[in-house]
């Protein structure tokens, strides 16, 4: 296995002016070096070649050996009734679920549930925030190419894929959603299997450059996704008035680590502290060759335009479009926004900042009046469900892999 993909440029970029200045300022004023130890960065780089062998073995034996229909039916039966409900269950299926049903030694269920509650408290703001900050990664081919080749988050499919992702976020973060029998647990397994199909199809695609990018949907990029749901919003949403504490951010990290565990994300290096997480994000910020080009720009443009209302749209749909555009411009770094030639959101780009005073006030009351904690959670859960039902009426997330890739 190569030590790192050829487009992993962190070590050569570490001595460029910007990372050097950031390290110097952080060391001087915070007493913290954002660059991790060399061995951590090297392990992270090699994780671009790590995939999900347990789920891949099941897909090979059942979905590909017996057919997708039987494979999907078997998965759904196991999720509903357990492995023992299947006569002569394939060994790959038993191995996969034995792994899932055995709690890892590091898991703390109290922290998992507290972290899920933190994620819920961010309401629908986290959906718009997470979607926006993800665009910064689209300059990297390892991230952009799978989305471009599958058509996910591109063109007319962007809104639906984004809503499916939001449905997944809601399912995994509901109280008890990750416990056996929980809808979040089932959703995580469905997405995991979908990722295996996408990975296998992409690896053999003529446009995929394994030496340059590693495997599709690698453990390295998956780890960044987990941090993008915990540390990044935990810090970034302070701009909107959310008073997420350090302990709450650590709980959110633990929650997403367990979600990742169910999805087959088993990174060989995982941050245990906020500081270690920031060091991984520092590596990610300076790792890339930024070769995605038009693929990345098209994905960004599609995301910005995802909620564009039709001529007969209702007022709430027009408002959603403006909020979506405003959040994207506010939270996406200006150089990235300009590089992708994205249109100005006008005064709507200041909406997240305008929302900060009332959110800060409510957060303060919640902290000091214990009964408001439960009320805030109830309101946030209701708000999320209504938002999804409005945009995805009468439909459930399918998490189905695409049948045809671009160029096939």
Kindly report the number of other CB atoms within 10 A of residue 26's CB atom. 16
Task: Provide the token pair at 276.
Answer: 């270690």
Is 303 inside a domain boundary? yes
Q: Which residues of the chain have pLDDT under 50?
A: 408
Of the candidates 254, 207, 219, 215, which has an alpha carbon nearest to the alpha carbon of residue 234?
254
Do 341 and 297 form a contact (C-beta atoms < 8 A)?
yes
Task: Provide the token pair at 366.
Answer: 């919640």
- Say what the pLDDT of residue 154 is: 67
Q: Under 8 Å CB-to-CB from 406, ≥6 apart: which residues?
A: 148, 149, 150, 151, 207
Of the candidates 237, 233, 216, 61, which has an alpha carbon nearest to the alpha carbon of residue 145?
216
Structural domain harbouring 210: 107-391
Is 247 inside a domain boundary? yes
The structure's pTM equals 0.95
Is 396 inside a domain boundary? no
φ and ψ at 327, to 5 degrees? Answer: -60, -40
- Say what the pLDDT of residue 315 is: 92
Give DSSP secondary structure letters for 375-390: HHHHHHHHHHHHHHHH
Give the C-alpha separation, 250 to 255, whole Å: 9
Q: Under 8 Å CB-to-CB from 218, ≥6 apart: which residues?
A: 47, 48, 49, 50, 51, 142
Do 177 and 171 form a contact (C-beta atoms < 8 A)?
yes
Do 93 and 83 form a contact (C-beta atoms < 8 A)?
yes
- Say what the pLDDT of residue 92 is: 95
Burial of 173 (0-12, 13-18, 19+ CB in 10 A): buried
3-state secondary structure at position 197 = helix
Is 209 inside a domain boundary? yes
Give the C-alpha separation, 83 to 77, whole Å: 8
Kindly report the number of other CB atoms within 10 A of residue 225's CB atom. 18
Domain count across the chain: 1
Give the C-alpha separation, 358 to 338, whole Å: 30
CA–CA–CA angle 111, 117, 119 (5° rounding): 105
Give the C-alpha separation, 258 to 183, whole Å: 15
3-state secondary structure at position 123 = coil
Do 350 and 157 form a contact (C-beta atoms < 8 A)?
no
Is 56 inside a domain boundary? no
| C-alpha dist (Å) from residue 255 to 27, 162, 168 | 30, 21, 14
Task: Provide the token pair at 13.
Answer: 């970029």
Is 335 inside a domain boundary? yes
- Say what the pLDDT of residue 400 is: 65
Burial of 148 (0-12, 13-18, 19+ CB in 10 A): buried
CA–CA–CA angle 251, 118, 264 (5° rounding): 55
Is 10 inside a domain boundary? no
Tokens 């991230």 map to which residue? 143
Give the C-alpha separation, 276 to 201, whole Å: 34
Give the C-alpha separation, 49 to 108, whole Å: 29
Of the candidates 392, 130, 385, 187, which has an alpha carbon nearest to the alpha carbon of residue 377?
385
b/e 284-316 (16+ beta carbons within 10 angstroms → b): bbbbbbebbeebbbbbbbbbbbbbeeeeeeeee
Give the C-alpha separation, 7 to 291, whole Å: 9
Give the C-alpha separation, 314 to 99, whole Å: 47
Is 153 inside a domain boundary? yes
Of the candidates 295, 311, 338, 316, which has an alpha carbon nearest to the alpha carbon of residue 389?
316
């Amino acid at each position: 296995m190569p030590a790192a993909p050829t487009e992993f440029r962190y070590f050569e970029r570490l001595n460029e002016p910007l990372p050097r200045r950031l390290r110097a300022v952080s060391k001087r004023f915070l007493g913290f070096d954002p660059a991790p130890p060399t061995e951590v960065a090297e392990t992270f780089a090699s994780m671009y070649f790590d995939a999900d062998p347990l789920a891949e073995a099941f897909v090979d034996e059942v979905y590909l050996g017996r057919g997708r229909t039987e494979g999907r039916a078997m998965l759904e039966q196991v999720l509903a009734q357990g492995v023992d409900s299947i006569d002569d269950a394939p060994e790959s299926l038993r191995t996969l679920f034995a792994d899932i049903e055995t709690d890892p030694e590091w898991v703390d269920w109290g922290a998992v549930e507290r972290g899920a509650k933190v994620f819920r408290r961010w309401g629908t703001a986290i959906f718009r925030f997470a979607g926006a900050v993800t665009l910064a990664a689209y300059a990297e081919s390892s991230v952009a190419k799978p989305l471009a080749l599958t058509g996910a988050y591109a063109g007319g499919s962007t809104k639906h894929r984004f809503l499916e992702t939001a449905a997944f976020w809601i399912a995994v973060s509901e109280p008890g959603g990750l416990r056996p029998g929980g809808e979040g647990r089932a959703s995580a397994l469905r997405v995991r299997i979908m990722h295996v199909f996408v990975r296998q199809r992409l690896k053999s695609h003529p446009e995929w450059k394994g030496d340059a990018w590693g495997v599709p949907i690698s453990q390295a990029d998956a780890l960044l996704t987990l941090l993008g749901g915990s540390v990044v919003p935990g810090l970034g949403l302070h701009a909107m008035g959310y008073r997420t504490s350090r302990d709450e951010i650590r709980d959110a990290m633990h929650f997403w680590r367990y979600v990742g565990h169910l999805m087959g994300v088993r990174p060989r290096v995982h941050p245990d502290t906020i500081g270690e997480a920031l060091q991984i994000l520092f590596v990610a910020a300076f790792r890339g060759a930024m070769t995605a080009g038009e693929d990345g720009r098209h994905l960004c443009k599609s995301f910005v335009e995802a909620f564009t209302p039709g001529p007969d749209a209702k007022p709430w749909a027009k408002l959603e479009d403006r909020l979506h555009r405003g959040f994207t411009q506010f939270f996406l770094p200006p150089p990235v926004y300009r590089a992708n030639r994205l249109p100005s959101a006008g005064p709507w780009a200041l909406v997240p900042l305008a929302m900060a005073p009332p959110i800060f006030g409510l957060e303060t009351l919640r902290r000091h009046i214990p009964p408001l904690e439960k009320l805030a959670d109830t309101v946030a859960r209701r708000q999320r469900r209504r938002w999804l039902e409005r945009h995805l009426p009468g439909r459930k997330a399918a998490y189905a892999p695409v049948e045809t890739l671009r160029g096939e």
